[in-house]
Structure 1
Amino acid sequence: MDGAHAPELTKKVQRLAVTGSPVGAAESSTTDLNQRLKKLINAAPCMLFMKGSSQEPRCGFSRQIVALLKEHNIQYSSFDILSDEEVRQGLKIYSNWPTYPQLYANGELVGGLDIVKELAESGELENTCPKAVTLEHRLKTTINQSPVMLFIKGNKEAARCGFSRQTLEIMNSTGVDYDTFDILQDEEVRQGLKTYSNWPTYPQLYVKGELIGGLDIIKELLESGDLVSVLKGEA
């Protein structure tokens, strides 16, 4: 064609061959956005799309819904729609809900502030959304994660203190299978477990959910020949 820029025309033809047409490209873009929105909605059992964050809401409606969720001890994650215009506009169409905030539970739209207020007043909010897990429940779950649980500084591959290193050497010598939890990675567990177990130091060894003790106790059990039977829950 007269006046055509051959290389550029070739590129355009190649792009259209891939997408099918400009309409096909738009449809592909919409599909990608919908997949992203679905992933965000399912990022947590309870997801709140709001203006700002749960620590700093950026509008009155968002502030009110955060207060309600906190009051009813609902565990949730949030997404700041002000940080992403594509999500902000796309979610309105995806969910067929034109305003914010928007609350989702288990991937399904619950609604906005008015709906959440109604659920709170009727006592249904706790049944609709997952409640926050207490520290005590979390500690119990972690302690019972394995029949033999060792709370140390570091992990099986790399102890982060001398006491933890000695404990790992003893545990490995028994041939008994066990799991570890790195208290340096979780300050809440690190401090909470001291109070929960009434044992102020680490390492801490648990068998079938019961505290055995720290390094000194483990050494005593090793010397007496009882350690393996204790680890196996036979003593």
Structure 2
Amino acid sequence: MYAELEFTARSIFTAVFYQPYWFLYSIVDEEKSNLDNIISNATSSEAVIEATVTHVLLACHMLFINILILNLLIAVFNFSINEVQDKNEYIWRYQRYELIREYFEKPLFAFPPLSLLAYIGWFISAVIFRGTTFRFSQFYLERRCNTPKMNVQWTEFENAATYNYARKFVEDNYRPKAEHETSKLEVQLNAMKNTIDRLQTQVDALNCSNEQAQAEINAQTNRMMTCMNWIMTAMARVRMSNIPLPTVENSTSSNA
């Protein structure tokens, strides 16, 4: 009933992994059988090597092709699902509109098993009236929509539905973008304001340090002038030269 299997690594690999692997791809064709026959019945080692390499390449090829096809199917399904999700509201509104319109336009006995009453009415009309025109409204009620008032109501309904859908579409697609642009602009303006405030702080700090340095320079200059005047006065007292003393102006008076 069952085939005998030698307890070797080659036979176990062939029976457990080899056959099920090819059955995954539904490959039981003549090409695989020819390769197996070449490997088992070949007299030269070159033919066995060629058949084995062909087996390995075919297995890798089938694995690569199936992975590629699977990824392609996943991509197609993802695209379809994303497209349906993007248009689900439009599709749902359209189908609801079609359902409501079909409900109002079809007669009362248009759906099985109530449609049997319509067929019975047609049969009675054909037998009793013998081919005369059968007035459908004599045997069952019909919801008529082919009236001017109903057409006006349908037009108003379609206009309102179209307006609501267009407004919802604009709010969902364009208003978030405008709000995003506004918020982005506000962020940029706040960043520029922070940069200007930081630069103003740095300029104020530089002005303050400049004033301090100027004050220190003026004080040092005044001290130097005082020292120079003292030296010149001492030189004039001891009459070291006949040249008159030069006039030295104070920096504070010159700056003023």
- Greater share of residues in helix: 2
**RCO (CA 8 Å, sep 6+): is it higher in 1 or 2?**
1
- Greater share of residues in strand: 1
TM above 0.5: no
Tell me the TM-score normalized by structure 1: 0.26
